[in-house]
Chains A and B, each alone.
Chain A
Amino acid sequence: MKKSRTKKNRSKPKKPVVAFLSLSGCEGCSFAMLDLGGEFFNALVHHYKLGEHHFLEEMKEKSHYDICFVDGSCLTKENVKVLKEMRKKSDFMVAVGSCAALGVVPVIKNFVNKKQKAKYVYPNLREPFNPDIHPISRYVKVDLVIPGCPIDNKEFLKVFTDVAQGITPALSHRPVCYECQTNGNPCLLQKGEPCLGPVIQGGCNAVCLNSRYYCRGCRGLIQDPAYDDAIKTLNKKLEKMIGKRALHHIFQIYGIQEDWLNRL
């Protein structure tokens, strides 16, 4: 007994088998990973056994994956089917990017006459499958979320190596403002311009604000009730500044409208 345990300890730990699933979307998050270049490939080879990646491989599906990274959202019946199958086969599922986490862009359909929109784009299409868009967590259990549109690939790399070793990665729970101020950017709100930064989950290095492009909330609201008052105050301020219609249009882009209005 003792002997075998020692032997087991000595042998290399088995690398988890990883799958990457891309549902419908721009695939920018897949490219954000590839843009890491050698860093990504080294981490992949070092920590994982590759099970499936539609971009890198033409390989047979496996019956089990230890970890599955999912990007994109469910726009087709096939998307829903594959997502559910992958969930069954995978021990741990990570939603990568805000399409999977929140919906992003197609989610705008939920707030307009989507039948009319489909007719506008495809006047002759027979019965288009045109569902409301939801986070993938509406269909399957999600164990971890990496937000962002696109993801911040440095943040991804950390999560990627952490989860392979069974570590629960610590994602930032500070608002975008924290990094924005650290980077020495001028505050747009103080200048009388709109910005959602004070209540949006950071970890993006305030990349938009570094270009003076105000935060539209692609990483979603901070999930901490302590921020509810700040959301209320900011909502009042922004409604006054740009009007309700424009404000709600901004919320819709990344699918934070429901969450935002629920917390007012």
Chain B
Amino acid sequence: MTKRIKLKHIAKIEGHASLITDLERGEINRARFRTLEGSRLIEGILVGRNYQEAPLITARICGVCPVVHNLGSIKAIEDALKIKVSEKTVVLRKLMMMGQFIQSHSLHLYFLTLPDYFKLPNSLKLLKDFPIETKQALEIRAFANKLIEVIGGRAIHPMNSAVGGFMKEPSKQELIALSEQIDPLLKIGEKLTKLFHSLKYPKFSRKTEYVATSNPNEYAIYGGQLNSTIDRKITKEKFIKEVEENYSDWQLIKKTRLKGKVYMVGALARLNLNRSKLRPGAKALLKKTGIKFPSYNTFHNVLGQMIETVHCLEESKVLIKKYLAMKGSSAVKDYRVKSGKGIGLIEAPRGSLFHVYEIDQQGYLKNVNIITPTAQFVNNLEEDIEAFLPDINDISSPASRRKIKMLVRAYDPCMTCATH
């Protein structure tokens, strides 16, 4: 006899999702994570339109991570048109990415995750019970938003970033003012890391594969080579050729596998592959946690995001200093429109993001494929749930439901990205 557990709507994630778990004779048969978002057919819509519209339209895939889609799209176009941008442009884009990571992570960590661990019904209660910490988390987010705004023109759906460079140089005064905020914020980051370290993460371990961008010179976020525990030498071109997207007859998320295997992307994947490249403060904090890496406990993705938040604060300071000392320009470069194919690979807060474009002679998009982090880790999430559930006694009790939701939230799934 099949018993079905249905979580009709999982709140406190980005977008809407449900989870259906089938149990047979007390054992998990199948966990199905399903989007409740409607598909906007973004890829289809882009075909036949000018490439210049892509960074604008794809930013609208997601309001919590518009910077990654905007820059991922720009990178795909620059790859297709063989445009090499100035170093100054790259530094500014990296800074936008720091803002993006800090903003998205701190939202997820504080407002979506923490209430679970404190067994609070919601974030407003958190606000009342922990006014100081809330204020601090908001300060970190405000810094990140301001950083994106100063460089990108606006915190949500930036438009100053363009193919070939920036429309306008950011204000140096504003960057200096932001830089001065970082040291106090790092102190807050340290305190919040302690808080996140003290949380009781459920004991859980399931060995899986990890995929992330790696870079010999830095903790890869804006750019680098694709790296994976399945195939270390994989290039982004090879990855795109080999990754299997599931074209199901009912699902709106095109879930992926690599060489038939499920895999994980995101903060934990990055830490498992790249932790030696963290900035010193973040590295020291990670060491203090005493957790052995690579970690196969998905719940550590939460702590991983906290460590990355601290890293990104440190990195922002370094990058602002570098930018202020740089000569040259970040203005949009002259380039020629021609036909070509390109892949934009960038690390989103939730994992590696791919924008794959084909552009025709006149600059119109011929083919578009966008592979988002959530679409990549849903298969892994389902296998995690299947492995995690037998540990839970009395599977339909409110406590069990809460634990399942905690596992889902540890992934920080973004349904609007997954569905796009």
Using a CB–CB cutoff of 8 Å, the interface residues on chain A facing chain B are 22, 24-32, 34-35, 37-38, 41, 45, 50, 54-59, 74-76, 78-79, 104-106, 108-109, 112, 114, 116-118, 120-126, 128-130, 149-150, 207-208, 210-213, 216, 246, 249, 253
Complex-state Cα separation, A75 to B42, whole angstroms: 13
Query: Is there contact, CB below 8 Å, between B45 and A28?
Result: no
Select one of B60, B62, B250 contacting A104, CB under 8 A: B60
Complex-state Cα separation, A56 to B168, whole angstroms: 36
In the complex, whether B320 has a CB less than 8 A from a CB of chain A is no
Select one of A27, A41, A50 contacting B64, CB under 8 A: A27
Most buried by B among A24, A78, A121: A121
Query: Is there contact, CB below 8 Å, between B44 and A26?
Result: no
Select one of B38, B121, B141, B156 contacting A75, CB under 8 A: B38
Complex-state Cα separation, A70 to B174, whole angstroms: 34
| Nearest-CB residue, chain B, relative to A245 | B50
A213 partner residues in chain B, CB cutoff 8 A: 153, 159-160, 162, 167
Knowing that A34-B107, A59-B121, A126-B250 are A-B contacts, what are 17 other residue pairs whose CB atoms are under 8 Å apart, sorted by A's residue number? A26-B61, A27-B416, A28-B156, A30-B63, A37-B141, A45-B124, A55-B123, A105-B40, A105-B42, A118-B39, A118-B41, A123-B247, A124-B247, A129-B38, A208-B153, A211-B168, A249-B50
Complex-state Cα separation, A138 to B290, whole angstroms: 57
Complex-state Cα separation, A26 to B372, whole angstroms: 14
Q: Report the 4 A-B pairs with minimum CB-CB distance, sorted nearest first.
A: A75-B38, A28-B63, A117-B44, A211-B153
Query: Is there contact, CB below 8 Å, between A58 and B12?
Result: yes
Query: Is there contact, CB below 8 Å, between A125 and B50?
Result: no
**A109 touching B45 in the complex, CB below 8 Å, given contacts A25-B416, A26-B63:** yes
Select one of B44, B168, B419 contacting A212, CB under 8 A: B168
Complex-state Cα separation, A56 to B134, whole angstroms: 13
A125 partner residues in chain B, CB cutoff 8 A: 247-250, 252
Complex-state Cα separation, A56 to B120, whole angstroms: 11
Complex-state Cα separation, A207 to B66, whole angstroms: 16
In the complex, whether B380 has a CB less than 8 A from a CB of chain A is no
Query: Is there contact, CB below 8 Å, between B142 and A37?
Result: yes
Complex-state Cα separation, A32 to B145, whole angstroms: 10
Instruction: Tell me the dominant secondary structure on chain B's binding face.
Output: loop
Select one of A76, A79, A246 contacting B50, CB under 8 A: A246
Query: Is there contact, CB below 8 Å, between B122 and A122?
Result: no
Cβ < 8 Å to A, chain B residues 124-141: 124, 127, 135, 138, 141
In the complex, whether B111 has a CB less than 8 A from a CB of chain A is yes
Min Cβ gap A203→B in Å is: 15
Query: Is there contact, CB below 8 Å, between A28 and B66?
Result: yes
Query: Is there contact, CB below 8 Å, between A207 and B154?
Result: yes
In the complex, whether B30 has a CB less than 8 A from a CB of chain A is no
A74 partner residues in chain B, CB cutoff 8 A: 38
Complex-state Cα separation, A122 to B253, whole angstroms: 9
Min Cβ gap B235→A in Å is: 26
Query: Is there contact, CB below 8 Å, between B64 and A126?
Result: no
Complex-state Cα separation, A211 to B11, whole angstroms: 36
In the complex, whether B287 has a CB less than 8 A from a CB of chain A is no
| Nearest-CB residue, chain B, relative to A122 | B247
In the complex, whether B49 has a CB less than 8 A from a CB of chain A is yes
Query: Is there contact, CB below 8 Å, between A57 and B124?
Result: yes
Select one of B47, B48, B60, B167 contacting A26, CB under 8 A: B60
B111 partner residues in chain A, CB cutoff 8 A: 34, 55-56
In the complex, whether B15 has a CB less than 8 A from a CB of chain A is yes
Select one of B12, B36, B37, B60 contacting A149, CB under 8 A: B60
Query: Is there contact, CB below 8 Å, between B63 and A29?
Result: yes
Query: Is there contact, CB below 8 Å, between A150 and B157?
Result: yes
**A75 touching B11 in the complex, CB below 8 Å, given contacts A26-B66, A27-B63, A35-B145:** no
Complex-state Cα separation, A213 to B167, whole angstroms: 7
In the complex, whether B57 has a CB less than 8 A from a CB of chain A is yes
A38 partner residues in chain B, CB cutoff 8 A: 135, 138
Query: Is there contact, CB below 8 Å, between A26 and B416?
Result: yes
Cβ < 8 Å to A, chain B residues 57-89: 57, 60-64, 66
Query: Is there contact, CB below 8 Å, between B107 and A75?
Result: no
Most buried by B among A58, A106, A128: A58
Select one of A34, A37, A59, A104 contacting B122, CB under 8 A: A59
B38 partner residues in chain A, CB cutoff 8 A: 24, 74-76, 79, 129
Complex-state Cα separation, A60 to B50, whole angstroms: 45
B12 partner residues in chain A, CB cutoff 8 A: 54-56, 58
**A122 touching B156 in the complex, CB below 8 Å, given contacts A50-B124, A105-B57:** no
Min Cβ gap B416→A in Å is: 6
In the complex, whether B306 has a CB less than 8 A from a CB of chain A is no
Query: Is there contact, CB below 8 Å, between A210 and B63?
Result: no
Min Cβ gap B151→A in Å is: 10
